[in-house]
Structure 1
């Protein structure tokens, strides 16, 4: 797999029937290793090790319904009160992050109402703080570290 613009982490692989899987510490199971999953796993480990978010507050690949359509988010980090702190949209490294990507995560956020958004393809990372009252976002240099509330 391609080297990404994240710190290195220890991962576990499993190979069966010519398929390689990587262990997901959040879902606690092996999942098929695709380019987007490679990015997602790096991002999860980044949130845990670098940003100090507890595993118990991180959710990966869950369904949500937006305007009657079923969608799946990549990563959500909750606050201890159950509100959503951060939503992360992961793309494969070869996917260029553009306005369409931001529009996708903005639609998700209409339902989720996260305080922060991160968009990454593993090479480029973009961070935004949401201002839901003004219906806009401000770009940040990074997302904040976890602060226990």
Structure 2
């Protein structure tokens, strides 16, 4: 299910608008890792943390996202539940249950997507930090005019 479909499905459920709208929460969030902004220079606000805190948060978010991915699969499978009999009452009751399972599956998928967006944002923030570290290393090497030493005279 794509993000727009999940948001639309969640918005019609009781309390669903909050979860559906949260899917994009971290897409444009600014994470500042050891002073390096994930949204570029001059971006204000967001979360500020050390590299170790960001890595720990990333690891935790990955675990939650993986758990929710498994739960989402199980929730989708519940939508395949068959009625135990072919009489109208049983079939009607089963249909109501299938609708509830469908709503639950959409909710779990939205939560999974929420955590995946956090993982993506943290990975981006840590990647920006790593690129800045690599660039600083190259700049130091160039400043000493030593080509192969990996460092320069400072």
Structures share fold, TM-score greater than 0.5: no
The structure whose residues are more often helix, as a share, is 2
Higher Rg of the two aligned structures: 2
The structure whose residues are more often strand, as a share, is 1
> With structure 1 as the length reference, what TM-score do the two structures score?
0.17
> With structure 2 as the length reference, what TM-score do the two structures score?
0.17
| Higher RCO (C-alpha 8 Å, min separation 6) | 2
